[in-house]
Amino acid sequence: MGIGIIISLLLSIPTIIKRGWINSRNKRKIAELEAKVNYQETELTKQSEQSNLLRQNHQEIFQAFSLTDSVTGFLNQETTVKLVTYLLQQIQTRINNPRYSSLSVFLLSVEPAKSYHNISTQEWENSVNRGIAKRLAYAINPNSFLGVTNRKRFICLTLDLTGPQATEYSEYLIGQLTASPLQKADGTTMPLKVYLGGAIADPADKIDSRGFLQQAEQNLEQGREQKRNSVVITEIVTQPDSEAKLT
């Protein structure tokens, strides 16, 4: 029995050693992976801080040249129309650049619930629009530009989206705006409803800024006739010949 026990122990020693070696190797791998994750998180934080700083610098330049809306900080209507004209030119002339494969415009009407419609002070409206703008600015991707019309309808211009991607992106934006009620300074909350009209142009579409923006506005009005938080996006179908005029 003693000899059997000794033989059993001797036979198990290689397995024990191998198991210990595997455990040690796995621990080293886990430590290395944790170090990589921590490094990547640090780098992402740095990149986010740099991106926010660049965005702030750009915002200050825009403000210095009176290109932004004073309430939301987004590009004002005149500047947004000029940007649409420029981006349409880019997608038609820089065909080999993947960044300019398409241009999507999303026109959003964001409104408080009916119970808040009777509140009409300018200070209250500005506060609501600032809150909406903050959510929208947080949600957009790096290929997007934000503007606002004189009637405080929000505009999101985004490059390099296909039709399905544009629909998915618009639903994502609406989800970010309506995920939770907007909280006011006094602590009360206010639910939002969103209507979105969009249009997509690619290099083959010979369209000017007027036709492009008008189609998005027509789709927005069509969406307003439907249910709450509706989305209507279409490809270009018209070709007007005058400059853009948003309402």
User: Rounded to the nearest 5 degrees, what angle is found at the Cα of 179, between the Cα atoms of 175 and 185?
Assistant: 130
Q: Which pLDDT score, from 0 to 100, does residue 229 have?
A: 66
Q: Is residue 247 part of a domain?
A: no
pLDDT at 78 over 90: yes
192-211, pLDDT tens digit by residue?
888 999 999 988 888 888 88
Indicate the number of domains in the chain. 2
> Within this chain, do residues 131 and 211 fall inside the same structural domain, yes or no?
yes
User: Whole domain around residue 44: which residue ranges?
Assistant: 1-65
> Within this chain, do residues 125 and 200 fall inside the same structural domain, yes or no?
yes
> Within this chain, do residues 194 and 126 fall inside the same structural domain, yes or no?
yes
Last residue of a domain, one of 65, 85, 113: 65
Q: Is the pTM of this model over 0.75?
A: no
Q: Is residue 228 part of a domain?
A: yes
pLDDT at 31 over 50: yes
> Within this chain, do residues 61 and 82 fall inside the same structural domain, yes or no?
no
Last residue of a domain, one of 10, 34, 65: 65
Q: Is residue 72 part of a domain?
A: no
Last residue of a domain, one of 20, 40, 65: 65
> Within this chain, do residues 128 and 226 fall inside the same structural domain, yes or no?
yes
Please report, rounded to a whole number, the percentage of residues in the chain having pLDDT higher than 70: 88
Q: Is residue 242 part of a domain?
A: no
> Within this chain, do residues 97 and 202 fall inside the same structural domain, yes or no?
yes
Q: Is residue 92 part of a domain?
A: yes
> Within this chain, do residues 100 and 219 fall inside the same structural domain, yes or no?
yes
Q: Which sign, positive or negative, has the C-alpha torsion 31, 33, 35, 38?
A: negative
Q: Hey, how many other C-beta atoms are within 10 angstroms of the C-beta on 233? A: 21
d(CA 246, CA 157): 14
Q: Is residue 241 part of a domain?
A: no
Q: How remote is the C-alpha of 3 from its chain's centroid?
A: 73
> Within this chain, do residues 50 and 26 fall inside the same structural domain, yes or no?
yes
Q: Which pLDDT score, from 0 to 100, does residue 13 have?
A: 76
Q: Could you tell me where the DSSP H helices lie in the chain?
A: 2-64, 77-93, 122-139, 163-178, 209-224
What φ, ψ does residue 125 adopt, rounded to 5°? -65, -40
What counts of helices (H) and strands (E) characterise the chain?
A: 5, 7
Q: Is residue 240 part of a domain?
A: no
Banded model confidence at residue 77, pLDDT cuts 50, 70, 90: very high
> Which residues on neighbouring strands pair with residue 190, listed in sequence order?
182
> Within this chain, do residues 13 and 130 fall inside the same structural domain, yes or no?
no
The CATH code of the domain that includes 185 is 3.30.70.270
User: Both tokens of residue 89?
Assistant: 């030119």
Higher pLDDT, 109 or 225: 109
> Within this chain, do residues 20 and 134 fall inside the same structural domain, yes or no?
no
Q: Which pLDDT score, from 0 to 100, does residue 116 have?
A: 58
35-76, pLDDT tens digit by residue?
888 888 888 888 777 767 777 787 788 878 888 888 988 999
User: Both tokens of residue 84?
Assistant: 């649409």
> Within this chain, do residues 54 and 148 fall inside the same structural domain, yes or no?
no
> Within this chain, do residues 60 and 112 fall inside the same structural domain, yes or no?
no
Averaged pLDDT, 99-128: 79
pLDDT at 215 over 70: yes
pLDDT at 118 over 80: no
119-176, pLDDT tens digit by residue?
567 787 888 888 889 889 888 888 899 999 988 899 999 999 988 999 999 999 999 9
User: Both tokens of residue 182?
Assistant: 């907007």
User: Both tokens of residue 202?
Assistant: 């690619």
Q: Is residue 245 part of a domain?
A: no
